[in-house]
A and B are shown apart, each in its own frame.
Chain A
């Protein structure tokens, strides 16, 4: 019932939004110097992917997309946990989380 009277936004708008979010995320990863902000950008990219999943799940009435979002969120959470642990230990070493200061493994 909800499908017939509600005005559904076309799927392409969702995908475009997802793409924009993803691009913003990529830009953030590439531009930002603060490690935490890079993680925030990575979260943004992951969520953009989630959005795309959900949109397609609604379009094709496939619950697989919905389920996969759960996986992505779990992975994102785990990744953040590990990443933040790494950042804390880096801070303890170099007193800075500016990634431009981390260039010792160079040739």
Chain B
């Protein structure tokens, strides 16, 4: 089975190859206006990655410890115990394979969906811009291939993230997915009218993520300073060692040398199998409990192991809140809905946003040393789940509801991993990927149907609606009665909604229930928050389903909507099946728990939960009550065309929820506006008036000119000229004086001769005397 593991680099090669081919040849591959070649190519690459992931799965069935497949050494700096050795190794273990399967599996389905969706989206843009035949074809070629280039790049980046063997490789993938998110959210950056909003949303996502990345980087640096390495296995082994022995001793050890107290004499394979070794060591056997007082030297500070671990994990949490849209860095995700729907489905529901949960699960050893951080994580998750669920109740854009729902569900997952329920968190990650992708793709189908209807309606002579009418195909208030017009979409959407609401026996029930069970036993506050969030979840999904699909169409577009093509509906059906059957992965009964047992191999502090019938009953009952409530409000008497949402009756509460708890406005006032003012002040006053006008013009230029004047007048004219002229004048004067001996009178010359003779004679005579 070793040989299978060495195939893992292919999982990266396929998406990047697809990206490169689409980048350079994508346009050429589209031979006519309806060609789908770039999309098919990208989907094939995604499918190939899925095949590799399945092969890894099969390999792990035989040898569950997995392997680390080295590719090459990226950098190797320093020496001794602080050797920064970053090889690019790809980690194949049960946790990363679960992530790989989810990412590539759901990713492939969304790629296939996007083949059809993007054609429609680009056609919509072509109509908006009024391009002619040739320009339209060129536009479509460029944009279509560009989309799939970015999509494959994203898939490759996400796979780098989950297959990284050390914190830095994970961070590389982390940043790359952030980049892809930016590129894809701002895909329609030049949309006439909405272009600036799209690119601002992309920028908001990138910048907010960056704040989280800052936390992540500090955590990585702290990890290196404390443990001298960034490899997962080595870090965790040294952390384990430092529980009992001092730092200096542990820094010299690597993962292979540290064997547990029980001593596993035989190893299946000779390679580093720390994750397997440590995983077989149950937490209770791991050594001493409680706050660890081993001192760790970080620069000039000496902190205890527990404090250091707490700091590291809190900064990791900051990174996770950025990527997984938790409080306080969740504000980018609703705006990110500006991107095309497949982007929202893949990146912002199923994969990128789950990176934070994966990262925390991967670092479970560190969280085990710092129980305080775990509580913080859980509370953050719980609060986010609650806040986002309340906001979702009051939104009118179909994708916004789903966006806040995603934030809320991510809160569930973060709360789960914070409480130590790693299996529950990953389980919910997987099931959520299924039904949230389903819901997003379904909403894409609905939006396309609405746009179809809008076109048909405006072309009919008796409707009287002009084409330039401000039409938002995503506004639920204009939908209604779509069940009759789009039956397949309706069916799968309802399945997805029920799964999200947590109705047994669909997938969402099992995973959500496991989280609630963990919360009920560990942290009652979080349990209450999550339960209320679950109640609201069911309510807003019911509200959405009733508003969109039932009743009568509230606009011409809704009345003329049409079903989507099979290339879009087939992935929806597959995802619906997964949403129904996904619970089988980890049923909480004796003998089941497949996923749990699977993950236990890699995640040492995972624990298999039991099943508490009362918790399950409470959550199911609340969900049913919520759905019943939503039927009472929206289903029994469906909204008519001019009716206002009955929730407006709640007055200021509704406005508060509708305006997202004024969170963006808060950030705007507290952070953004002062920052912009500071920037403007620095630019105008400091840079322009001070540096440019004052320092440069008044001081430097004037000094230069003054110096030039000094040099020219007194120095040049006064001194140098006078010196040179003076020499000439001396010569002139002396020559004038000497010229006076040339009188021209012969008698003077004769006198001179005589005087000279006498002088010489005197000289000779006196000398002789």
A residues with CB within 8 A of B: 26, 29-30, 33, 99-100, 102-107
In chain B, what residue has the closest Cβ to A33?
B747
Counting CB contacts under 8 A, is B671 at the interface? Answer: no
The A/B interface has a contact count, at CB < 8 Å, of 31
Inter-subunit contact B754/A102 (CB<8 Å):
no
Main secondary structure of the interface of A (DSSP, over half): loop
For A103, list chain B residues within 8 Å (CB).
Answer: 743-745
Q: In the assembled complex, how far is the CB of residue B747 from the closest CB belonging to chain A, in whole angstroms?
A: 6
For A99, list chain B residues within 8 Å (CB).
Answer: 745-747
Inter-subunit contact B754/A106 (CB<8 Å):
no
A29 to B747, CA, bound (A): 8
For B271, list chain A residues within 8 Å (CB).
Answer: none
CB < 8 Å neighbour of A106 from B742, B747, B750, B751: B742
Q: In the assembled complex, how far is the CB of residue A93 from the closest CB belonging to chain B, in whole angstroms?
A: 15
Among A100, A104, A106, max chain B CB count under 10 A is at A106
7 A-B pairs in the complex with CB atoms less than 8 angstroms apart: A26-B754, A30-B751, A99-B747, A100-B747, A102-B745, A103-B744, A106-B744
Inter-subunit contact A30/B744 (CB<8 Å):
no
Counting CB contacts under 8 A, is B740 at the interface? Answer: yes
Inter-subunit contact A29/B750 (CB<8 Å):
yes
A29 to B746, CA, bound (A): 10
The 7 A-B pairs with the shortest beta carbon distances in the complex, nearest first, are A106-B744, A103-B744, A107-B742, A107-B739, A105-B744, A103-B745, A99-B746
For A107, list chain B residues within 8 Å (CB).
Answer: 739-744
For A30, list chain B residues within 8 Å (CB).
Answer: 747, 750-751, 754
Contact (A102, B751) CB under 8 Å given A107-B739, A107-B740 = no
Q: Which of B212-234 contact A (CB under 8 A)?
A: none
For B745, list chain A residues within 8 Å (CB).
Answer: 99-100, 102-103, 106
For B751, list chain A residues within 8 Å (CB).
Answer: 30
Inter-subunit contact A104/B744 (CB<8 Å):
yes
Q: In the assembled complex, how far is the CB of residue B738 from the closest CB belonging to chain A, in whole angstroms?
A: 8
Q: In the assembled complex, how far is the CB of residue B120 from the closest CB belonging to chain A, in whole angstroms?
A: 111
Among B739, B741, B747, max chain A CB count under 10 A is at B747
In chain A, what residue has the closest Cβ to B740?
A107
Q: In the assembled complex, how far is the CB of residue B597 from the closest CB belonging to chain A, in whole angstroms?
A: 126
For A105, list chain B residues within 8 Å (CB).
Answer: 742, 744
For B740, list chain A residues within 8 Å (CB).
Answer: 107
For B741, list chain A residues within 8 Å (CB).
Answer: 107
Among A33, A100, A104, max chain B CB count under 10 A is at A100
A105 to B743, CA, bound (A): 7
Among B741, B742, B743, B744, max chain A CB count under 10 A is at B744
Query: What is the size category of the interface that chain B forms with chain A?
Result: 10 to 19
Q: In the assembled complex, how far is the CB of residue A59 from the closest CB belonging to chain B, in whole angstroms?
A: 21
Known: A102-B745, A107-B743. 18 other contacts (CB 8 A): A29-B750, A30-B747, A30-B750, A30-B751, A33-B747, A99-B746, A99-B747, A100-B745, A100-B747, A102-B746, A105-B742, A105-B744, A106-B742, A106-B743, A106-B744, A106-B745, A107-B740, A107-B742
Q: In the assembled complex, how far is the CB of residue B30 from the closest CB belonging to chain A, in whole angstroms?
A: 103
A51 to B648, CA, bound (A): 156
For B750, list chain A residues within 8 Å (CB).
Answer: 29-30
Q: In the assembled complex, how far is the CB of residue A2 from the closest CB belonging to chain B, in whole angstroms?
A: 35
For B742, list chain A residues within 8 Å (CB).
Answer: 105-107
Q: In the assembled complex, how far is the CB of residue A72 from the closest CB belonging to chain B, in whole angstroms?
A: 18
In chain A, what residue has the closest Cβ to B746?
A99
Among B739, B740, B750, max chain A CB count under 10 A is at B750
A100 to B747, CA, bound (A): 8
For A26, list chain B residues within 8 Å (CB).
Answer: 754
A102 to B748, CA, bound (A): 12
A30 to B753, CA, bound (A): 10
Q: Which of B728-769 contact A (CB under 8 A)?
A: 739-747, 750-751, 754
A107 to B749, CA, bound (A): 13
For B746, list chain A residues within 8 Å (CB).
Answer: 99, 102
Q: Which of B138-155 contact A (CB under 8 A)?
A: none
A33 to B747, CA, bound (A): 8
In chain B, what residue has the closest Cβ to A29?
B750
For B747, list chain A residues within 8 Å (CB).
Answer: 30, 33, 99-100
Contact with A along B507-527 (1 / 0, CB 8 A): 000000000000000000000
Q: In the assembled complex, how far is the CB of residue B310 from the closest CB belonging to chain A, in whole angstroms?
A: 106
A103 to B747, CA, bound (A): 10
A41 to B425, CA, bound (A): 143
Contact with A along B709-743 (1 / 0, CB 8 A): 00000000000000000000000000000011111
Q: In the assembled complex, how far is the CB of residue B603 from the closest CB belonging to chain A, in whole angstroms?
A: 116
Q: In the assembled complex, how far is the CB of residue A40 from the closest CB belonging to chain B, in whole angstroms?
A: 15
In chain B, what residue has the closest Cβ to A26?
B754
A99 to B748, CA, bound (A): 11
Among A29, A33, A107, max chain B CB count under 10 A is at A107
Q: In the assembled complex, how far is the CB of residue A73 from the closest CB belonging to chain B, in whole angstroms?
A: 23
For A100, list chain B residues within 8 Å (CB).
Answer: 745, 747
For A104, list chain B residues within 8 Å (CB).
Answer: 744
A10 to B750, CA, bound (A): 33
In chain A, what residue has the closest Cβ to B742?
A107
For A106, list chain B residues within 8 Å (CB).
Answer: 742-745
A87 to B742, CA, bound (A): 22
